[in-house]
Structure 1
């Protein structure tokens, strides 16, 4: 999808920004009951002007993107199925859960999450959530792992030894 967007919108940087923002937030684009394309966060409508303001672009650029999305089968099938996902990384410690952040040597390295998960499971700690940044959407992608309880600092050396891990931070 990212190649498709980059190739088809290379002459329209503002529209490309809109497409990336919608995807990164999990904002869905669908026609309403009158056939007008709308932006939704779950079942809550998000105004095009709010997206335009967040990106510091003209609202008309957002509206143009919405029309292109609903008229392009490839874009429509992607954007009509997006869903927002809650990221509990910042609030989990308030709930008594553990949070670690994994910084990869390369976000394209395979097996990092598998290696980390195996170590956590070996110590009888349950994983509640894993959120991984998409390297196409984020400059410095990281993985945030929320666990049922705090991660003991004694696990840090073992976690850091996983191939492809640059750093592990207990939050």
Structure 2
């Protein structure tokens, strides 16, 4: 993709995301901070809404501006695995974050450092859904165990893959991958 463009087939990216070039020639998708504060929080979707049983992975980097670090995440089947910068928390949220259905845990992560996020969602035979995620420094070996998990009795059985960003400061996304579960 060309620099300063957005993926045309993605939903909810206009004025919120842009492709940028980094030193060395790599191109990344950036959750921008320009424009209205109404545009600072966004979910962008990149596939049909009837997908199910898949995994989303991405490398993310959140910058820091005036002691504010952005929030970033990946979306699978309407579940969001999100890193919250200022609170240094990891959340696993259903489509509409509800306190009783959101799982949280402390997760210290640094601004201006790449992290790999992985969210896997699977429909279970009993009608429930298992959503589980993990985050680790990019370039390191993937942890064998899932860090955060929820079996949801009020499941989202399908939904488009995507990314989440709340850009108090810019957030970079790279190496985005969607794969069917085995």
Indicate whether the TM-score tops 0.5.
Answer: no
TM-score range, shorter chain: under 0.3
TM-score normalised to the size of structure 1? 0.25
With CA pairs under 8 Å and 6+ residues apart, which has the higher RCO, 1 or 2? 2
Indicate the structure with greater strand content: 2
TM-score normalised to the size of structure 2? 0.24
